[in-house]
Structure 1
Amino acid sequence: MCCSDEKRIYTSEKAPKALAPYSPAVKGGGLIFISGQLGLDPATNQLVEGGFEAECRQALNNLKNLVEAAGSTLDQVVKVTVFLKDINDFARLNSIYAEYFTVNPPARSAFQVAALPKNAAIEIEAIALAPECCCCHQDCCD
């Protein structure tokens, strides 16, 4: 079996621990799936202070760190889903988001939701392309 066919779980010291029974990042079938990231400080697993902008930046940093832990980059993100506590934050989201996805941004959906864990203002999940294996040896995707 080629290593791109294996399910692999990724975490990062630079991203918060999972709040429930889920994996922060899973690679399989040539894709990396990043679970929804809140604006949690990885050191405390608590929401950062500073309101929407601070939470948005932290959520994007957490997402970036998990994508990188799985061996990819933000440039390889192909789909993002954003959950907003208040759709009126959409313009502020776009401004900050453009700092992280500067060229050829991924496909994206954004929704207002009734509530988010920890009463967060934003949650962001993503799908990225996994780096291609150089061969079909088991260790080439580590």
Structure 2
Amino acid sequence: MREEYLDGTEVSGGYCRALKQGNMIFVSGTGGLDQHGKLAGPDVTSQSRLVYKKIEKALAHFGADLSHIVSVVIYVTDMSTTAEYQAVHSDVFAKYKPTSTLVGVSGLVAGMSIEIKVEAMID
């Protein structure tokens, strides 16, 4: 059975923040914009922290948490900020290590420096 989650921060129509299909949860690319559309901060660290809080909230909707994440894809606009992101990533995944892909991109919506999408699996 397919279940969708919308949190009101979707930039445009046509997609959901997250969806659960069977035992898999897919969280759309999530950026560091707060509920008012403002950047959490100018740096990758503050944006990353907010992103993981938003992802955690989406997972919780389906009864999951960050430990259920099996795959992460990170999009960054400046590859020189990798160490900043990795510091947050290491904190978030201190116990559970998902697969991970880092991709450099030329730009993201609303001036974001980072966008993260995840896939999680529950029992």
Q: TM-score, normalised by structure 2?
A: 0.92
Does residue 86 of structure 1 match 2:78? yes
1:25 Cα offset (Å)? 0.5
Secondary structure of the 2:54 match is helix
1:20 Cα offset (Å)? 1.5
Distance in 2, matches of 1:66 and 1:11, equals: 8
Write the letter of the residue equivalent to 1:33.
F
Structure 2: stretches of 5+ with no match in the other structure: none
Provide the residue aligned with 1:33 in structure 2: 26
Structure 1: stretches of 5+ with no match in the other structure: 1-5, 133-142
Write the letter of the residue equivalent to 2:21.
G
Does residue 104 of structure 1 match 2:96? yes
Does residue 52 of structure 1 match 2:44? yes
2:121 alignment partner, one of 112, 129, 142: 129
Distance in 2, matches of 1:128 and 1:48, equals: 24
Q: TM-score, normalised by structure 1?
A: 0.80
> Larger Rg: 1 or 2?
1
Distance in 2, matches of 1:101 and 1:51, equals: 20
1:27 Cα offset (Å)? 0.2
1:65 Cα offset (Å)? 1.2
Identity fraction in percent:
23
RMSD of the TM alignment (CA)? 1.3
